[in-house]
Amino acid sequence: MSVLTVTPPGISPDVAQFAAEMAALPHLSGILDLARECFPDGPVAAFVEADAAIADLRHIVVEVDVSRWDTDQILAGQAAWSSGLFDGCPAPLTAYIQLGWR
């Protein structure tokens, strides 16, 4: 994954701000690239979401389109995402990143 210090194109200001607050902004572009590599058949979106059960907990959801994928494809993409996320993002920051499917 690449490391950068500016907001990647197409990222909303709220995602960029939250990523900067969590010190994840330098890794955000690489995280989105990883999602595109693991789930290449559709768009990738990112947004900030509050946890429904834990007050004051927020995370960045990287949402991918798997609507045309079968179970084996989804599981393979998920495995590649999980492995790649830890390869390119410091482990403590991964708590603020979640993968979402649509």
The CATH code belonging to domain 13-101 is: 3.30.300
Residues 6 or more apart in contact with residue 62 via CB below 8 angstroms: 31, 32, 35, 44, 45, 46, 97, 98, 99, 100
**Which stretches does DSSP call E strand in 19-96?**
44-50, 58-64
Q: Look-up: residue for tokens 């909303």?
A: 12
pTM of the model: 0.86
The predicted pLDDT at position 39 comes to 96
Helix (H) or strand (E) holding 26: helix 25-38
**pLDDT-based confidence at residue 88 (cuts at 50, 70, 90):** confident
Note the pLDDT tens digit of each residue in 4-54.
Answer: 455 666 789 999 999 999 999 999 999 999 999 999 988 999 999 998 899
**pLDDT-based confidence at residue 60 (cuts at 50, 70, 90):** very high
pLDDT mean across residues, the chain: 90
Residues 6 or more apart in contact with residue 73 via CB below 8 angstroms: 66
